[in-house]
Structure 1
Amino acid sequence: MLSGQTPLPDRLTILLDRIDAALAAAGERLATGFRDELIRALPALRTFAMSLCASAARADDLVQETLVRAWANRERFIPGTNFTAWTFTILRNQFYSEMRKARREVEDAESTHAAGLTAAPDQEHVVALGSVMNLIGTLPLPQRQALLLVGAEGFTYEEAAAQLGCQVGTVKSRISRARSFLVASLAQDASSLGFAGL
């Protein structure tokens, strides 16, 4: 882990240890640089996965699968291109594959029930943040992706457009619509969220 980064979940740390063992066994100097790129991309991958998934565990699984796929296809990466964008594409494609698979499966009734549970009254700030995250989760996927890439990850509009495979104007439009929806929804629910003056 690089200094200044948040600790990684144990499952991701174990996966990185396995990659290190494979490097040592193969003696690949070039692969070590690839591993370093993977580590640098982890925080952004994790944030992007969290924006797509409802749970941290599912997001970590998605990141883990992305790391495995990126490692298996490392020969396909073109040096000098945007490594983070390449791994984001792998993550996004994996997410879409999982979504298609999930549509064919029966929804778990317990997880649906658990999602509707409320927090204790003394955790109002947690409820407020949860409400904002829930609102972000209701955005159409293209709007949510654009908003989180620019707003949370710090991508420029141009970088986000390249990552999402669309025009810069489309990214700006998606972000504008997403922000308008969030502001209107928060203003409507301001009293229940504990925000005065929205």
Structure 2
Amino acid sequence: MTALEFNYTLKEMSGSLKPFALKLTRDMEDANDLIQETMLKAFKNREKFAPGTNIKAWLYTIMKNTFITNYQRMVRRNTFIDTTDNLHYINSSGSSVQNDAYSSFTMEDIEQALNNVDDVYKSPFMMYFRGFKYHEIADKLQIPIGTVKNRIHIARKELKAKLTPYAHSF
């Protein structure tokens, strides 16, 4: 596609972008600015357009990404910082208060899973968890170090299987 054809296609597509821009911005002036910025980016990056592909979809993607970038910039700009001794971020989600109910349920599930692990595996696992070294566990339980490692591995595997709902939480 020649530069002239590309420019003509961009001009033809600008009208079809307006409803999408209005949907994103909910304001006519902001929509016009978004369309203009999208067209400018498309024109500057015309060599990245693959001829034979859907130019409308390409323009929609540019517009959506431009809108997201502008929105994130606006949010960062509107975050106020209190310069008192406490240095609180007023608009930050980090200042929200967490409910301990979730962690309480999680701990109950972990304790229940631990209680269901056979003592042969749980004992070396708990010692390792408390900071004992493999050789210290082996000496204390009077078993070979390889057996200690194997039992800790089995305990971990059992706990992992019993706590699968929390696999992506930690």
Tell me if both proteins adopt one fold, taking TM over 0.5 as the criterion: no
Give the structure with higher Rg (CA): 2
Structure 1 length-normalised TM: 0.38
Structure 2 length-normalised TM: 0.44
Higher relative contact order (CA 8 A, sep 6+): 1
